[in-house]
Structure 1
Amino acid sequence: MIVSDLLPMLQSLSRADKLRIMQFLVAELAKEEGVTPLESGTAYRVWSPYGSHEAAHKLAKLLEENQETENA
């Protein structure tokens, strides 16, 4: 089956079926890329600049430089 035959069939699907197809395709692409999908109910550590004075200082400096560049 070629894409030009597949697209009209996909357009006729219900919203729920379209979402299932998207989930399937994303999972297939992730497998091909070797990406491990996130699992529901699992806690993942995420870095945050909250409470990081160094990050706040760098961000403020970048914003100042950007403002100076735009005003020049």
Structure 2
Amino acid sequence: MPLAELTSQIQDLPKKIDKLRLMQFLATELVKEEDANFFVANQEYAARAPYNCSEAANVLMNLRPTKQQEPNG
């Protein structure tokens, strides 16, 4: 199937979720081609969250007034 025809069919997908599922499928296929051990189906992976990062938050808050005081160029 030519890419132009495939692109047309993708654009005609009725739901955004179908496009997201297609993206997920393609990403998974690419990973399989690159490294079979990179992603394991039905495996849980830890999601990192920025909790207890008060030091980083303080640095950003200290930079904020500095950025606001800079003249608009």
Counterparts in 2 of 1:53-64, with a 5 A limit? 53-64=54-65
TM-score of the pair, normalised by structure 1: 0.53
Counterparts in 2 of 1:1-72, with a 5 A limit? 1-13=1-13, 15=15, 18-32=19-33, 34=35, 36-37=38-39, 42=44, 44=46, 46-48=48-50, 50-70=51-71
Partners of 1:53 and 1:10 in 2: how far apart? 44
What do you get for the CA RMSD once the two structures are aligned? 3.7
Give unmatched runs, 5+ long, in structure 2: none
Taking only the aligned residue pairs, the percentage that are identical comes to 35
TM-score of the pair, normalised by structure 2: 0.53
Give unmatched runs, 5+ long, in structure 1: none
What is the deviation of 1:27? 1.1
Partners of 2:3 and 2:14 in 1: how far apart? 19
Q: How many residues were matched structurally? A: 71
